[in-house]
A = this chain, B = another copy of it.
Amino acid sequence: MVIKRIPIKQLAHDEVEDMEDEVAVEYPLTLYLNGDEWVTLLCSPAALEHLCYGFLKSEGLIKSRNDISQLTLDSEKGHCWITVKDLNPLVLQLHGKRTQTSGCAKGITFYHALDNATLVANHSTSTVSFDHLVALMARFNGASPVFKATGGVHSCAVCSANDMLLIQEDIGRHNALDKLIGEALMTGLDLGHKILLTSGRVSSEILLKAARSGIAIVVSRSAPTDMAVREAEKLGMTLVGFLRGRKCNVYSGFERITG
């Protein structure tokens, strides 16, 4: 249940009306990693296995689905017990450092330590036409039922050059992307050369999550930060912002957008 109906009072032009409103449910999911309590995610209670797989992939703790030998989800208690094979203690230690964070922000030390070793420039020669991007975004905007009901979630989608393949929603824009990445991992969909659409702002963290999955083109309805633009340039990725109607800003990698 990702939406809850609650009684509210609506004020409009000095009239008060008792009515019901639909709000997004916020759900705490605690992950236990190889026996130890590890992290609690506040998320929308849907696609929780996808979230677990995607979060572990984004955090650099697994590379493939087979790196997890067991995953037991108790959705009633909000607990997920995960056993990762050959858990790298260094990665876990760096993770501990990295996740000393504040809300939407996240430590950068670990990024640089790990990403410099693992992230390489994206040499994808895939392209997408502007008309196709406009059509994809229009479809994406209409394909978010929880947002339509509540206005309280972000959505992300993975697209090929001519189709929308996966879409996920969550109260957190990081969670929405991790759910996508997890779903791709679980269903064997290769994200290389794919297009990511997101409703939310693109910070360096979102950009780097996409980069680690091999995504070549990141397209947002909203704004990027300067650091996301710099990372996109460095990694040879295409970054498009403010795609609204038939207008957008291309911040990096213009060669992948065809007329």
A interface with B by C-beta (< 8 Å): 4, 6, 8-14, 16, 21, 23-26, 28, 30, 37-43, 55, 96-97, 99-109, 130, 150-152, 171-175, 178, 201, 203-205, 222-229, 242, 246-251, 254, 257, 259
Q: A96 to chain B: closest CB distance in Å?
A: 8
Pick the contact of A25: B4, B12, B102, B226 (CB < 8 A): B226
On chain B, the residues within 8 Å of A224 by CB distance are: 23, 152
A103 touches B102 (CB 8 A): no
A109 touches B30 (CB 8 A): yes
Known: A102-B55, A225-B25, A259-B14. A254 touches B9 (CB 8 A): yes
Q: A109 to chain B: closest CB distance in Å?
A: 6
Question: How many angstroms from the CA of A131 to the CA of B23 in the assembled complex?
Answer: 25
11 CB contacts below 8 A, A to B, read A10-B249, A11-B247, A11-B250, A28-B108, A39-B100, A40-B101, A42-B203, A103-B106, A152-B201, A152-B225, A171-B201
